[in-house]
Amino acid sequence: MIQSHEGNQHDHNLLVTGGAGFIGSNFIRYLFEQTDFSGRLINFDLLTYAGNPANLQDIQELYPERYVFVRGDIADAATVKAVFRRYDIESVCHFAAESHVDRSIKSPDRFIQTNIVGTFQLLEAALSQKAFRRFHHISTDEVFGSLGHDGMFTEETAYQPRNPYSASKASSDHLVRAYANTYSLPVTISNCSNNYGPYQFPEKLIPLIILNALEGKPLPVYGDGKHIRDWLYVTDHCQAIWLILTRGVAGETYNIGGMTERENLYIVQRICELVDELARPDADRPSSELIRFVEDRPGHDRRYAIDFTKIRTELDWQPREDLDSGLKQTVEWYLGHRDWVNQVRTGEYRTWIKDHYGEMK
């Protein structure tokens, strides 16, 4: 169990935005199950296609006094202010965002509204609270742009976002820093690498490939499959966020990485092996035969890599899960949660998959 550093950090009113999404719901579960957080948590989420309150059904039932769900849009100033006042919000952990790069390329509008305007409205509301303690903003390594063969992103790397998603996240990071500098709002920011694990919406690479392999569908790999991402198991990310929220220094930024750089093709092949081992032991043909190289994403960033020396040395954090154990747990989770999968693959999801990938042979 992670103990809070300062006694007053664990019993306050914490607003979590986007807590019905992938990382947000894992974070709330982590807080209730693995930390000494004893305050009230308000999960504020619009429930877009990516949000699913059923992710936290058990938490809602177990902690009816301490867990509150409010449906609303972070870009709606009046609702945001009302929530801050009604629940006397003292800290914010801000996850809510439009998060899928491919969707941002096809329709950027919602990314601007949610990621930029929404962050602005939250900052404004936080400023108007009397005893406000901390605004933690969850950002991404994608704000730094694309790396060549060498080098890693540090907290000092200049921002160079290259698609509408990363530009909207970079813009929100700038706003957060501006509120710290101009109005002395106590903020922290974390920029982390690609997360994977339970409850990830199956439009992102890892859950998409797991489910397609299980169902014998084509496995789309963009371009030559040699793009490199650093992969971080979601619970490791949650632990880092809680450490920053409770022990991080206001005004600081922390990079969070998984120490696991891999080419996309490697990830896809490894998932195929795991699916074959865990779910298709008697199959005649390996799932890897389903791999299809498809048209590349426009402006596709080639490589991301995170140097997380700062959080390791200052907050004594490092990832616990390695890729093999993390991927195995993830495949097992999707195998054991077919109802969840069927529930989230709505008409909207099917339309996205059909429009985005077309007919793959």
Catalytic residues: 141-142, 165
| Nearest approach, Cβ of residue 341 and ligand TYD (Å) | 16
Check if the beta carbon of residue 42 is closer than 8 Å to that of residue 13. Answer: yes
DSSP assignment string, 271-285: HHHHHHHHH-TT-SS
Q: Contact region for ligand TYD (CB under 6 A) — 125-133, 200-208, 278-286, 305-313?
A: 200-208
| Nearest approach, Cβ of residue 328 and ligand TYD (Å) | 19
Rounded distance, CA 29 to CA 241, Å? 13
Structure tokens at 249: 């220094």
| Residue 263 φ then ψ, to 5° | -70, 150
* Residue with smaller CB distance to ligand NAD, 9 or 25: 25
Among 117, 123, 125, 205, binds ligand TYD (CB under 6 A): 205
Cross-sheet strand order for the sheet of 194-196: 194-196, 228-233, 261-263
Among 12, 103, 204, 237, binds ligand TYD (CB under 6 A): 204
With vertex at residue 304, the alpha carbon angle to CA 204 and CA 55, rounded to the nearest 5 degrees, is 30
- Residues 273, 277, 278, 282: is their CA dihedral positive or negative? positive
| Nearest approach, Cβ of residue 203 and ligand TYD (Å) | 6
* Residue with smaller CB distance to ligand NAD, 256 or 290: 256
Site size for ligand TYD (CB under 6 A) = 12
| Nearest approach, Cβ of residue 3 and ligand NAD (Å) | 25
Check if the beta carbon of residue 248 is closer than 8 Å to that of residue 316. Answer: no
Q: Which helix (H) or strand (E) holds 344?
A: helix 338-344
| Nearest approach, Cβ of residue 138 and ligand NAD (Å) | 4
Among 10, 136, 169, 227, binds ligand TYD (CB under 6 A): 227
Strand-pair partners of 17? 44, 94
- Residues 259-298 as x/- pattern, contact with ligand TYD by CB under 6 A: -----x--------------------------------x-
33 closest CA partner among 62, 13, 53, 8: 62
298-326 burial by CB neighbour count: b if 16+ within 10 A, else e? eeebebbbbebebbbeebebebebebeeb
Rounded distance, CA 225 to CA 288, Å? 13
Does residue number 101 form part of the binding site for ligand TYD (CB under 6 A)? Answer: yes
- Name the pairing type of β-strands 228-233 and 134-140: unpaired
| Nearest approach, Cβ of residue 200 and ligand TYD (Å) | 9
* Residue with smaller CB distance to ligand TYD, 73 or 261: 261
Among 49, 132, 159, 222, binds ligand TYD (CB under 6 A): 222
- Name the pairing type of β-strands 261-263 and 228-233: antiparallel
| Nearest approach, Cβ of residue 71 and ligand TYD (Å) | 26
| Interface residues toward ligand NAD, by CB under 6 A | 17-18, 20-24, 45-48, 50-51, 73-75, 95-99, 114, 118, 138, 140, 169, 192, 194-195, 201
Strand-pair partners of 229? 262
Q: Contact region for ligand TYD (CB under 6 A) — 37-45, 48-56, 216-224, 272-280?
A: 216-224
Please identify the residue of the shown chain whose CB is closest to the bound ligand NAD. Answer: 21
- Residues 23-62 as x/- pattern, contact with ligand TYD by CB under 6 A: ----------------------------------------
Does residue number 352 form part of the binding site for ligand TYD (CB under 6 A)? Answer: no
What residues line the site for ligand TYD (CB under 6 A)?
101, 194, 204-205, 208, 220-222, 227, 229, 264, 297
